[in-house]
Chains A and B, each alone.
Chain A
Amino acid sequence: MIGFILRRLLQAVLVMLTISFASFVIQGKLGDPVTQMVGQNVTLAERAQLTESLGLNDPLLQQYARYLSDALSGDLGVSYYHKQATLAVIGDRLPATLELSFCALLIVLLTATPLGVFAAIRPRHILSRLIVIVSTLGLSVPIFVVAMFLVYFFAVEWQWLPSFGRGETHLLFGFWSSGLVTKDGLQHLLLPSVSLAFVLAPIFVRLIRAQMLEELDSDYVRYAWSKGIPAHRVYFVHALKNTMLPVITVGGIQVGTLIAYTILTETIFQWPGMGLLFMEAVSRVDAPLISAYLIVVGLIFVLINTLVDLIYLWVNPRVRIPGYGQ
């Protein structure tokens, strides 16, 4: 088990190194840092001097090592556009993205679990067939189409809800600007988080249903029935507990999907989060900001994935035996 954790951590470090190398290359190759700093109106000699002092003539590996040690000490460069430390720029936008993701995941959890479980327990029920069809349909509708319809009806036709931006926010704990504590903020949150949930929920409904069906067919569930224990215990204690284990793993894998979808959602709703920041940085060719975003998102991604694996290890008593998962 300790071997498993070590291997998992080693893998996380390797992935992080790869990501950091990619963002280092992007930072170096994208645009010209010297021009960005001093503009076009300097002599060639001055440019050469600046290039030298920035260490841009050093061997690539040495530059990478410097980049890495800077990154580890929390310095990911200065944004060309915002003229601020990139980490600070990203930090400002982080709460918006996290609150959006959190609300969407909450909606997903509250809808997908009961629907998936029901569809598995009563596979022949008309509602179950409906759940299956609708979740396939949900899988087939791109998020921007969902968003478009929501915006058209709720914001344009009926004018109940705002269609873009984050609304009024409050500073919590001195650093977290939250939209969850104001009515205006919550109203702004509704459409984006529902759109995001709408495309994520079908994935989980199908996953929970399929896994639950498999568990219900398993020997230990049949054994549980043979003990004459009540149906709700068989479903919710015996089967659901085992269903949720693989769901946790796949949920971890979906972090990447979630990140991609937040980029889309934020672009559609002009939600001032990290995803929108990234798309803005791309259109402005803001190399340091692009690479800093990659590092931060990569770190979040690797952290959550590693964490999910460790949680799985902790929740699943089976894995706690030596030699499992080889």
Chain B
Amino acid sequence: MALLTVEHLQVDFRLRQQTLTALYDISFTLSPGERLAIVGESGAGKSLLGYAIVNLLRQPGYISAGAIHFHEQNLTKLGSRQWQQIRGKKIAMIFQDPMVTLNPVLTVGEQMVEAIRAHQKISAQAAKQLAIHKLSQVKISAAEQRFEQYPHELSGGMRQRVVIAIAMLLNPEILIADEPTTALDVTIQAQILHLLKQLCEEQGVALILITHDFGVVSRIAERTLVMYAGRIVERGPTLEIINDPQHPYTQGLLNALPQMALAGQRLNQIPGHMPSLGEHPSGCAFHPRCPYATEKCRWQRPRPIYSGISTVACFAIEELLAETNLEEGDDNHD
């Protein structure tokens, strides 16, 4: 039984003159305790997807179609009261930049205690004890002292640990982490990722990790969704996707990784830019940047098909599969 099911989700931006679609027909599931990565360049819509799940889209963005089921509830139908019961308690979030997510004028302690007391009727003293316990759980030294400090008095890595501690305060079932390490130094990135993975494993929390970095994905996630221009273009087990990426976009992302380049060689960046909202190309949105693009890709949209390794939406793969099927069929005839 899936913990979270997203079905045909569409997110639109209603502007004065027109309505632009940012996410098209997104469907996926998340099982309890599973770790799922959503990968793509900035502008792919992966963060929007994260915010759509917890209904925190910024105006004028809104969910225009589809459903999100969490246990038995359809999250798209909830009122603000019911949302308050779910956010922070059942589904917690970690934002990209801890510098701008923690409120600068409140102490770490205030921001932790308010989260606890919003969901549990316990005394301020007990809440403080719990908060300090969680702080030490994310390996913050001198937790009692940190409790009294303001966010800017902590280092970047320390702040993100605080954010993780806040996310874990009420033992949520799902944790959505939006680029949790992008704003941090490389050395601290590894520590934070390790901590995240460890906490999720220990407490059986399902994780949705939103990132642009396949290096991060490989270390944490069991399954991966690759997004491009508001659509899922490839999905499958992380290991398979990394070892044998099917979609040209996924291949491009992986080739661009520094680890993939030989010493002294230039990094293989994908040429061109992610199209911005309202400028999504016709057909396969990736065709202007795709080395294999054909006339068909310009006008028709590929459907997701199972390639034997992952589920991909690409005509090149489709043709390749058709050829092999044909050959197999020919063999059978003979």
Chain A interface (Cβ within 8 Å of chain B)?
Answer: 217-220, 222-231, 233, 237-238, 241-242, 245, 315-318, 321
Please tell me if the beta carbons of B118 and A229 are within 8 angstroms of each other in the complex. yes
Q: Complex Cα distance A58/B279, Å? A: 76
Please tell me if the beta carbons of A317 and B152 are within 8 angstroms of each other in the complex. yes
Please tell me if the beta carbons of A317 and B150 are within 8 angstroms of each other in the complex. yes
Question: B88's contact among A222, A229, A237, A241, by CB below 8 Å, is which?
Answer: A229
Contacting residues, chain B, for A245 (C-beta < 8 A): 105
Q: Which residue of B lies closest to A226 (CB)?
A: B93
Please tell me if the beta carbons of A220 and B115 are within 8 angstroms of each other in the complex. no
Please tell me if the beta carbons of B87 and A238 are within 8 angstroms of each other in the complex. no
Q: Complex Cα distance A147/B243, Å? A: 79
Please tell me if the beta carbons of A228 and B100 are within 8 angstroms of each other in the complex. no
Q: Which of B35-43, B77-85, B196-204, B221-229 contacts A (4 or more CB under 8 A)?
A: B77-85
Contacting residues, chain A, for B93 (C-beta < 8 A): 223, 226
Q: Complex Cα distance A238/B118, Å? A: 14
Question: B102's contact among A222, A223, A233, A315, by CB below 8 Å, is which?
Answer: A223
Q: How far is the CB of A139 from chain B (nearest CB, A)?
A: 25
Give residues 84-115 of B contacting A (CB, 8 Å). Answer: 84-89, 92-93, 95, 97, 100-106, 111, 114-115
Contacting residues, chain B, for A317 (C-beta < 8 A): 104-105, 150, 152
Contacting residues, chain B, for A233 (C-beta < 8 A): 114, 118
Q: Complex Cα distance A326/B75, Å? A: 46
Q: Does B16 reach chain A (CB closer than 8 Å)?
A: no
Knowing A223-B101, A226-B92, the reply to whether A318 touches B152 (Cβ < 8 A) is yes
Question: A316's contact among B86, B95, B105, by CB below 8 Å, is which?
Answer: B105
Knowing A220-B104, A317-B152, the reply to whether A227 touches B118 (Cβ < 8 A) is yes
Q: Complex Cα distance A65/B102, Å? A: 53
Please tell me if the beta carbons of B104 and A318 are within 8 angstroms of each other in the complex. yes
Q: How far is the CB of B150 from chain A (nearest CB, A)?
A: 4
Q: Complex Cα distance A217/B101, Å? A: 12
Please tell me if the beta carbons of A241 and B106 are within 8 angstroms of each other in the complex. yes
Sort chain B's interface into a size bin.
20 to 34
Closest 5 CB pairs of A and B: A228-B88, A228-B87, A227-B88, A226-B93, A223-B101
Can you give 20 contacting A-B residue pairs, CB < 8 Å?
A218-B100, A219-B97, A219-B101, A223-B95, A226-B54, A227-B88, A227-B92, A227-B166, A228-B118, A229-B84, A229-B115, A230-B118, A231-B80, A241-B103, A241-B106, A242-B103, A245-B105, A316-B104, A317-B104, A317-B152
Q: Does B56 reach chain A (CB closer than 8 Å)?
A: yes
- The contact string, 1 if C-beta is below 8 Å from chain A, for chain B 49-78, is 001001010110000000000000000000
Q: Complex Cα distance A222/B163, Å? A: 13
Question: A228's contact among B86, B106, B152, by CB below 8 Å, is which?
Answer: B86
- The contact string, 1 if C-beta is below 8 Å from chain A, for chain B 204-236, is 000000000000000000000000000000000
Q: Which residue of A lies closest to B51 (CB)?
A: A222
Please tell me if the beta carbons of B103 and A238 are within 8 angstroms of each other in the complex. yes
Knowing A218-B100, A220-B100, the reply to whether A228 touches B105 (Cβ < 8 A) is no
Name, among A222, A241, A318, the residue most crowded by chain B CB atoms within 10 Å (CB to CB). Answer: A222
Q: Complex Cα distance A240/B59, Å? A: 20
Please tell me if the beta carbons of B83 and A228 are within 8 angstroms of each other in the complex. yes
Contacting residues, chain B, for A238 (C-beta < 8 A): 103, 106
Q: Complex Cα distance A229/B115, Å? A: 6
- The contact string, 1 if C-beta is below 8 Å from chain A, for chain B 120-164, is 000000000000000000000000000000101100000000000
Q: Complex Cα distance A238/B151, Å? A: 14
Please tell me if the beta carbons of B100 and A219 are within 8 angstroms of each other in the complex. yes
Please tell me if the beta carbons of A224 and B84 are within 8 angstroms of each other in the complex. no
Q: Does B119 reach chain A (CB closer than 8 Å)?
A: yes
